[in-house]
Structure 1
């Protein structure tokens, strides 16, 4: 949810010479509209159903960097597909660091719109519990895209 999955994922894919896949981008292409419009026209449930279908398909691919949307792990089927078929890296950003990014991401995150900051913090905390299921946790506060990517590679290669 605005931690930099796409930016870091694209950079990491370039370093590894792997394909980068963004599930939100696939969904937007399938609907031929941005996520915010999908939410407005079809609702969050339609988006989540399409997301589940996309993750089921792409989680079987190898040598890919896959970025899933911030709410993808809310669905058990998505968590299981990713955890069983992929190496899941949690990019962790503190609430304070996330708040600094808020003005930059609000327009592209429909799930955050029309919510108070307290409601958003509740959502952040709720999702943090769901994100606890992962293979690797990388804290990225204060890191550049390059530094975060290097930290991911070192962590995965060390098996930590």
Structure 2
């Protein structure tokens, strides 16, 4: 079984991924971190040097390769659902969890990070609002389960995912 975690930046995908992997004794793949390791560049560097489209292409390759893994939690980047090929992959998966979060929660989680290239120019709160509005329906389109990080603790989210699997 593969469990994909999708949602906006700052929604807790990496934290939930670690907790869930530990609880289920699954391996954890963080696509952004794996891209950084493979290409020996930060996400910011890839965006600056190669552009967002190059990063999205790399992200798609990783997502496709992971579709043969088992007993794995896969934490995706916030923009993974923008490409139709990625949405098709995710639609065909058994468990895709949309971790939703208010723009305020996203902002508080990301405001001190220098690893968010889309937030490096201008009003980051406004950028988060625009991205969430643009992507929200896409997240819902591929998700089998939606959990709100504003209303649930990380432990409650993990518990709900495990209960969903066991039902």
Residue 129 of structure 2 is aligned to residue 121 of structure 1: yes
Query: For 2:163, which of 151, 154, 158 is the aligned residue?
Result: 154
Residue 66 of structure 2 is aligned to residue 58 of structure 1: yes
Distance 1:119 1:111 in 2: 8
Give unmatched runs, 5+ long, in structure 2.
1-8
Distance 2:20 2:127 in 1: 32
Q: What residue in structure 2 maps to residue 10 of structure 1?
A: 18
- Provide TM-score, normalisation by structure 2: 0.86
Aligned partners of 1:60 and 1:85 also within 8 Å: no
Q: What residue in structure 2 maps to residue 30 of structure 1?
A: 38
Alignment partner of 1:78: what SS?
A: helix
1:38 positional shift: 1.0
Deviations, residues 1-25 of structure 1 (Å, cap 9, x unaligned)? 1111011101101110011011111
Distance 2:79 2:60 in 1: 11
1:86 positional shift: 4.1
Deviations, residues 41-75 of structure 1 (Å, cap 9, x unaligned)? 11111111111111001022121100111000101
Equivalences, count: 157
Aligned partners of 2:21 and 2:72 also within 8 Å: yes
- Provide TM-score, normalisation by structure 1: 0.89
Give unmatched runs, 5+ long, in structure 1.
none
